[in-house]
Structure 1
Amino acid sequence: MDSSHSTKETGDIPIPITESKSSKKTPPVAAVSRWKKAFAAKKTAHQPPVSRWKRALGILDFILRICAIATTLAAATAMGTTNQQLPFFTQFFQFKADYTDLPAFTFFVIGNAMAGAYLVLSLPFSIVCIVRPHIIGARLMLLVFDTIAVPLITAAASAAASIVYLAHNGNSDANWVAICQQFDDFCQRVSGAVVASYIAALIFIFLVIVSAVALRRK
Structure 2
Amino acid sequence: MAKDSTTIDVGEPSTVNKSTSHVEVGGKIKKKSFVAAATTGGSKRGLAIFDFLLRLAAIAATLAASIVMFTAEETLPFFTQFLQFQAGYDDLPTFQFFVIAIAIVAGYLVLSLPISIVTIVRPHAVAPRLILLILDTVVVTLLTAAAASSAAIVYLAHNGNQSTNWLPICQQFGDFCQTVSSAVVAASIAIVFFLILIIISAIALKRH
Category of TM-score, reference length = shorter chain = 0.7 to 0.9
**Is the Cα contact below 8 Å between 1:83 and 1:97 reproduced in 2?**
yes
What is the identity, as a one-letter code, of the residue corresponding to 1:201? I
Alpha-carbon distance between aligned partners in 1 of 2:99 and 2:106, rounded to the nearest angstrom: 11
Identity between Structure 1 and Structure 2 (%): 58
The residue that corresponds to 1:205 in the other structure is 195
Cα deviations by residue, 1:159-200 (Å, 9 ceiling, x for unpaired): 000110011011111011111111111000000000000010
**Post-superposition shift, 1:93?**
4.3
1:179 counterpart = 2:169: yes
1:137 counterpart = 2:127: yes
What is the identity, as a one-letter code, of the residue corresponding to 1:214? A
- Residues 1:75 and 1:137: Cα distance change in structure 2 (over 3 Å): same
**Is the Cα contact below 8 Å between 1:89 and 1:95 reproduced in 2?**
no
The residue that corresponds to 1:98 in the other structure is 88
**Post-superposition shift, 1:201?**
0.6
Q: Secondary structure of 2:169's match?
A: coil
**Post-superposition shift, 1:212?**
0.9
The residue that corresponds to 1:35 in the other structure is none
Mind listing any 5+ residue stretches in structure 1 that lack a counterpart? Answer: 1-40
Q: Secondary structure of 1:180's match?
A: helix
Cα deviations by residue, 1:37-80 (Å, 9 ceiling, x for unpaired): xxxx9xxx8xx757100000000100100010000010000001
Alpha-carbon distance between aligned partners in 1 of 2:134 and 2:168, rounded to the nearest angstrom: 40
Work out which of the residue numbers 124, 128, 131 in structure 1 matches 2:118.
128
Higher Rg of the two aligned structures: 1
Query: Cα RMSD (Å) of the superposition?
Result: 1.7
Higher helix share: 2
Q: Secondary structure of 1:51's match?
A: helix
TM-score scaled by length of structure 2: 0.79
Name which structure has the greater RCO, CA cutoff 8 Å, separation 6+: 2
Structure 1: which 4+ aligned runs deviate by more than 3 Å?
89-93
- Residues 1:51 and 1:171: Cα distance change in structure 2 (over 3 Å): same
Alpha-carbon distance between aligned partners in 2 of 1:217 and 1:103, rounded to the nearest angstrom: 44
The residue that corresponds to 2:47 in the other structure is 57
The residue that corresponds to 1:85 in the other structure is 75
- Residues 1:55 and 1:91: Cα distance change in structure 2 (over 3 Å): closer
The residue that corresponds to 2:19 in the other structure is none
Higher mean C-alpha deviation, range 161-170 or range 88-97? 88-97
Mind listing any 5+ residue stretches in structure 2 that lack a counterpart? Answer: 1-29
Alpha-carbon distance between aligned partners in 1 of 2:67 and 2:109, rounded to the nearest angstrom: 16
**Is the Cα contact below 8 Å between 1:86 and 1:95 reproduced in 2?**
yes
Q: Secondary structure of 1:97's match?
A: strand
TM-score scaled by length of structure 1: 0.76
Higher mean C-alpha deviation, range 86-95 or range 128-137? 86-95
Alpha-carbon distance between aligned partners in 1 of 2:188 and 2:145, rounded to the nearest angstrom: 10
